[in-house]
Amino acid sequence: MSQDIEHAQTQQQQAVVADAPVFVQACPGAGKTHVIVSRHLQRPTGSLRGGRALVSFTRTARDQMKTRCITEGRPDLAQFPHYIGTLDGFIWQFLVSPHLQTPQSAQLLESWAQLPKAKVALGKGTIALSAFTFTFDPDTEREDVAAPRENSSAATAVSKSMYSWARWKQAVLECRDQWRERGYFTGHEARLEALRNVRTDPVGTVVPLRSRFTEVIVDEAQDCSITDLAILDELRINGIPLVVVADPDQAIYGWRQADPARLLSFRGTFGTRITLTGNRRSAPPICALAATLRTSNRRPDISVVRSSGPAVHLIPTKFGKAGKTTHSSTGQDLLDLVLGLADHHREPENPNPSVLVLARKHALLPPALRRGEPDSNTITRLARAHQCLQSSSTKVTELEQACLLAEQVLLGYWYPGQVGSVTRICRAVGLSPAVLRRHAYAFLQALPEPSREWAGEVNARLKGWRPPVGAAPSRGKGLLRGKVASVGQQQQRQSAARLTTVHQAKGDEADAVCVLLSDNELIDGWITGSATSAEAQEELRVLYVAVTRARRLLILAAPEYRIDAIRDFLVRNQVPTRVT
């Protein structure tokens, strides 16, 4: 065993045994979940505070931690008094829900899109509440509404109305407050409520946590918004032993108010700080390239499980319209070329290497894979949900969203007088959520292939679908209108690779990863070191997340006229490189 590997293992063990509070900075592939669960398995809990909270940002990480406890023969560590869940769930269950006083049972929504009837009305115009983004400054406790994203239908509606943006913001906040008073919260409102509770009543809010948990472990803390960090800091100040695990170089949610500078400031409040540099995912060439994307001068991470790997491949690429990408010289389809390279460099024991193709934006991907843009009409989103069900590369979270949309469509037709979320409507009409989910899955499965005139076929299926007892369709209410736009068809060869955006792939990994690198400013900022603005540095972190998804083979597809400059830069930084 090399000294580097021994050093990486020592770092992991230090993170497992260190007393809280402690800040653990972990590189990509460092085995954060392994460290967190090992800490949970090995460290005893206090005699008075018998539990430990393991908090993550995703359900996938939550499920992995629960499964590890069970497979290690300790299912009790996944049960009360312990807590294993998401940050949203932790905030809601311990910092918000016990302190609410609403006229009916409150509900936490993933987004306002779960309430199709939540619309902002101003004059003759209406815009879905989910089209607006709320911001909050925890220092001044001032809330604001961000303008709708450029070229969206919401931005168009606002610009064409007779009302000022200030008046629209007022209407948005009033609409949101009305739904909140009825007991509906998204993660944003829950965080505001939690921070207010911790600051105004720290004893009533924090003491129950101190009595139950010997420590609270927060994973992927680089994804925390400035409000999340303010909440965690208040918990720290009030005596909650925190273990915070993060990689500031993977902070890519600036649009969601994540702030690496605020995270680094928060890290400075911890007396014990441990860094994990052992990468258990990527081959050495990938680790070497990733180091060139960091704002710090930290040396490349140690590839713990791979002593070697193929060179980073550069593909001179022509980026055409509608996501069409081809090799600049031969005209070969990029995806065919990537699949061929992945097969050529596969390991003998892995005859079917996994392949991931990543882009910064949906616009660079083939239209068939642009699922669920927020401005799509319902019939288009249902068509994409149907295709999602048919695809072999669909993730569990995507399947859940597809079924949720089908549930909303069915409820809208069966119970046209009901308002609210799926859960609340089911409760009001006495319909089992499990029964509704079975209906939704079967309904999606039974739909024909999408077409431009698909709405009539869907409505015919709605009318002919056997409804549950008590359903009361009313004429044409709840039927779908409009035409399907930009759905396309999945080609058979695409089932061999997953194509998605970097943000959606965060947390994933694959044997071979191809990154579509068409942004000239990003390339310049990377190879010249001129990316100094906050926006430019976040773009580098997005690229960093993309390349570190690769286990064995990394491919960069860039415009032909930039290939030589990228190759020379990588060679200077001792990154094995090959132009294809």
For residue 393, give both structure tokens: 């590369």
Cα distances from 402 to residues 39, 292, 415, 445, in angstroms, run 36, 39, 20, 11
Q: Is 31 annotated as a binding residue?
A: yes
Q: Is 478 annotated as a binding residue?
A: no
**In terms of DSSP bridges, do strands 125-128 and 242-246 run parallel, antiparallel, or are they unpaired?**
unpaired
Q: Which residues pair with 308 in a beta bridge?
A: none
Q: Is 32 annotated as a binding residue?
A: yes
Q: Is 117 annotated as a binding residue?
A: no
Q: Which residues pair with 83 in a beta bridge?
A: 53
Listed in sequence order, the residues at least 6 apart from 519 whose beta carbon sits closer than 8 Å to its beta carbon are 360, 539
Burial 157-169, CB ≥16 within 10 A → b, else e: bbeebeeeeeebb
Within 10 angstroms of residue 395's Cβ, the number of other Cβ atoms is 16
Rounded distance between C-alpha atoms, residue 542 and residue 546, angstroms: 6
Burial 399-436, CB ≥16 within 10 A → b, else e: bebbbbbbbbbbbbbbbbeeebbbebbbeebebeeeeb
Q: What is the 3-state secondary structure (H, E, C) of 217-278?
A: EECCHHHCEHHHHHHHHHHHHCCCCEEEEECHHHCCCHHHCECHHHHHHHHCCCCEEEEECE
Q: Is 29 annotated as a binding residue?
A: yes
- Residue spans of beta strands (DSSP E) within 283-373: 302-303, 312-319, 325-327, 355-359
Q: Do residues 490 and 450 touch, judged by C-beta distance below 8 A? A: no
Q: Is 532 annotated as a binding residue?
A: no
Q: What is the DSSP string of 65-82?
A: HHHHHHHTT-GGGGSTT-
Q: Do residues 54 and 86 touch, judged by C-beta distance below 8 A? A: no
**In terms of DSSP bridges, do strands 312-319 and 325-327 run parallel, antiparallel, or are they unpaired?**
antiparallel
For residue 373, give both structure tokens: 């843009």
Sign of CA dihedral 384, 389, 392, 397: positive
Instruction: Determine whether 381 is exposed, middle or buried from the number of CB atoms within 10 Å of its CB (0-12, 13-18, 19+).
Output: buried
Q: Do residues 490 and 449 touch, judged by C-beta distance below 8 A? A: no
For residue 518, give both structure tokens: 């068409």
Listed in sequence order, the residues at least 6 apart from 571 whose beta carbon sits closer than 8 Å to its beta carbon are 577
CA 469 to chain centre: 38
Rounded distance between C-alpha atoms, residue 441 and residue 406, angstroms: 8
Q: Is 33 annotated as a binding residue?
A: yes
Binding-site residues, in ranges, read 26-33
Binding-site residues for ATP, in ranges, read 26-33
